Structure 1
């Protein structure tokens, strides 16, 4: 059973890596990044000349967008709702645990990791919004009520989910225009892509990207030719594509202009992913649980509707998927143990927003496989002050023993500072034997009540 589980986890990671390559590899002429670059180049070359005189062929972007969107759905969607939530949590967590932080890999991060993160989260936000009537569009509701899992011909999949993912893929396409890249990294790549721009510089960058995006959408969102002999099927194929392209343009327009009922559907996951994944010079892993506060600040500034923000937080909780939790386990006598253990957030929809659903990955601060799932209460989570205060009363000798297992360079005068609010599990997750965080495990247990 364990070998089959590990094989499934390894298969998922291989598929994820292949998809990231298909999205971001500049060496692959058919990757999303390459095709968008080629489309920008084509538009510049043909801007003032007839297409027939163009010296390069027009890239066929739409078929590849559809192909890649299908790949995303195969990673995020399951055979039923429960399976879909597990697969989405695994995708989000894996992206968090493997995202690069090098400024030189900004294309890979922006058009691979963040794109997939946004796609998965947007899919979950869409169905949540339809389920809770945040969206009342009759066409969307009709497709949603007729949804069939694991069916490639399902109208909800074909007419809603696929165009939604394509819209996510195109949301930042203007950033690959040469003028936008020059503003971001400089003519010779001398600027840090993760730096904070001055206000005027950032406004110019956003305006340049927006103009380039509009030009690309006019060229890229074209009907894919029908292949077959049935005239009726051809008409249906054309009508379906026209409706999907209209939906894609509607999604992008409302998101960019922050206006319309669909606007939060793309913009909220876009902002959330920018907070919880690397790519900003202000990125601090320890501060990631404050993402919900930043989104609520957006409500106060009129950037997002309050009900949409709350529903997104209901999905993800306070702690992002893949986040490293340090917690105090409970002893057999129901007291608090004089130690802490490690866990990783691995499930969506926590019953209590500040109590993450996790997989335990250590015992006596030694990494382990096949741990239990758990729900970590505030009183046990070292991210919160009450738990840290409780652990800080541990006798110094015992705390030294704990910290010697954690770090080789600690100093006796800094013991209290070594009490972790969280831990970074990227190195742990890099080993394939530790990637089975989403396989079947005993039901969640709450460490305020359960013996350890």
Structure 2
């Protein structure tokens, strides 16, 4: 699955995929919009089917004792009602298949953007997508919460895929459905637009579970609870326990309903009965696996598959937070939250450690400020800006970064490097290495960096971090993985 997208095309493809998942459009054809339509009409659709069935049943009963003179008319009525029932089932099946085709298309697009011919290529592509989502999502302004909510399902799905691979590589998964389908040599497909059995049977259900985990929130009753009857209430407000717990239960129930009845399984197209039975068995096994992931993610036990979804959910809810307060410098604290969740039994300790080793302490796309290696007696004369760009760092505290400012030293060192804690100005103790520089010199250095990066609001080294949002919004700055 090779990729030849330019930087601008890639960014556009990511934004298109986000809109395919969740959007606000006249067509109402994104997955979350289709879910909202399903929730609005599901009760009425069930009533229509029930009425059609009851009418048919009663007319058939009438036919058993109808006088001979009226038998022909009754027969015709049965045929008419049979056609009405058949047509209604086809109509509702068509709507269901629209949802199925929508999520199937989303899953294929996720695989195209995140998975390659091998694990290394896959990790690079996934890191690119995760960092792109992070840097495209504004952390400032009034639209921050809405944007984070839009980007979160895709962000979570990619993290779930890579955690799945990490746990398999470290033999931390024992689920029979997964391990019997996993062989390292056939995990990925080397053929463009063709997918391995593992991708079809395991990876795609994981994507579906991660993306749809909160899709039950589109239910009309939940939306009324969140926004009020007239839509005037802030849906992102902090909810009290008495409201939040029932809402989460309702979301879980409605999500399962939408996956089972709103999406369902793909319809077999063909006349071979044996192939149809095998096809539907595979489809039902995948559906059962999706539902199992979601049920198990409510409170995953040690070694259970729910961790694959639950841990990325906790992580993405912090990194792409929709809470009223959001502080960029607090993002590395998400590791503490994961550790505490593991201690409290909310997630599996082994799975949590796998995930921390996967993402490290600093999120992909996070802007770091650093000093270069120096001998003990050498006085530092500068500091530099970089962006975290890789998964699976050497150690969680040593992110792999891309140099952004080099100040005439281009080509002297690789563009990607492992940043050791003793060079990372995020830690206040490292800032002491620049104490000998005068205020005037530091101001001059800062002005040069502002000019290089084209960001007048660029923080100085004393902040210990920077936000690449404005930098990454310029097309020529988006090629960070070359």
User: Could you say which TM-score interval applies, normalised by the shorter chain?
Assistant: 0.7 to 0.9
Q: Match for 1:189 among 231, 234, 237? A: 231
Are the equivalent residues in 2 in contact too, given 1:317–1:354 (CA < 8 A)?
Answer: yes
Query: Match for residue 174 of structure 2?
Result: 136
2:72 maps to which residue? none
Scaled by the length of structure 1, what TM-score is found? 0.86
The answer for the alignment partner of 1:234 in structure 2 is 276
Gaps of 5+ in 1: 409-415, 440-452
Q: Does 1:31 align with 2:30?
A: yes
* Residue number among 413, 418, 439 corresponding to 1:396 in the alignment: 439
Q: Give the direction of change, closer, same or farther, for the CA distance of 1:105–1:424 in structure 2 (3 Å limit).
A: closer
Structure-2 change in CA distance of 1:193 and 1:103 (3 Å)? farther
Aligned length: 426
CA deviation after TM superposition for structure 1 residue 305, in Å:
1.5
- Per-residue CA deviation, residues 209-230 of structure 1 (Å, 9 max, x unaligned), is 2332243234124232112343
- Greater shift, 247-256 or 183-192, is seen at 183-192
Q: Indicate conservation of the 8 Å contact 2:35/2:218, yes or no.
A: yes
CA 1:290 to 1:251, structure 2 compared with 1: closer, same or farther past 3 Å? same
Find the counterpart in structure 2 of residue 213 from structure 1.
Answer: 255
Aligned counterparts of 1:160 and 1:193: Cα–Cα separation in 2: 34
CA distance in 2, matches of 1:134, 1:320: 23
Distance 1:13 1:25 in 2: 17
Alignment counterpart, residue 116 of structure 2, candidates 64, 78, 90: 78
Over 3 Å counting, the alpha-carbon distance change for 1:148 and 1:217 in structure 2 is closer
Contact residue 163 and residue 247 of structure 1 kept, 8 A: yes
The equivalent residue for 2:127 is 89
Residue 50 of structure 1 and its aligned partner are, at CA, apart by 3.2
Unaligned runs of 5+ residues in structure 2 are: 53-87, 452-458
Does residue 64 (structure 1) correspond to residue 102 (structure 2)? The answer is: yes
The 8 Å contact of residues 325 and 422 in structure 1, kept in 2 or not, is answered as yes
**Please, which of 17, 20, 26 is the counterpart of residue 19 of structure 1?**
17
Match of 1:116 in 2: 154
Q: State the Cα RMSD in Å.
A: 3.0
Alpha-carbon displacement from aligned partner over 1:412-432 (angstroms, at most 9, x marks no partner): xxxx98712100001100111
- The answer on 1:321 being equivalent to 2:364 is yes
Worse-matched range after superposition: 428-437 or 271-280: 271-280
Structure 2 vs 1, CA of residues 198 and 13 (structure 1 numbering), >3 Å: closer, same or farther?
same
The alpha-carbon deviation at position 246 of structure 1 amounts to 0.9
Higher helix proportion (structure 1 or 2): 2
Give CA-to-partner distance per residue, 1:164-218, whole Å, 9 cap, x none.
Answer: 1111122111111122122223333333333322222322332332332243234
Match of 2:418 among 348, 360, 375: 375
Quote the Cα distance in structure 1 between the aligned partners of 2:4 and 2:465: 26
* Distance (whole Å) between structure 2 residues aligned to residue 11 and residue 336 of structure 1: 44
* TM-score (ref. length: structure 2): 0.81
Higher Rg: 2
**Within the alignment, does 1:342 sit opposite 2:385 as a pair?**
yes
Cα distance in 2, alignment partners of residues 385 and 194 from structure 1:
33
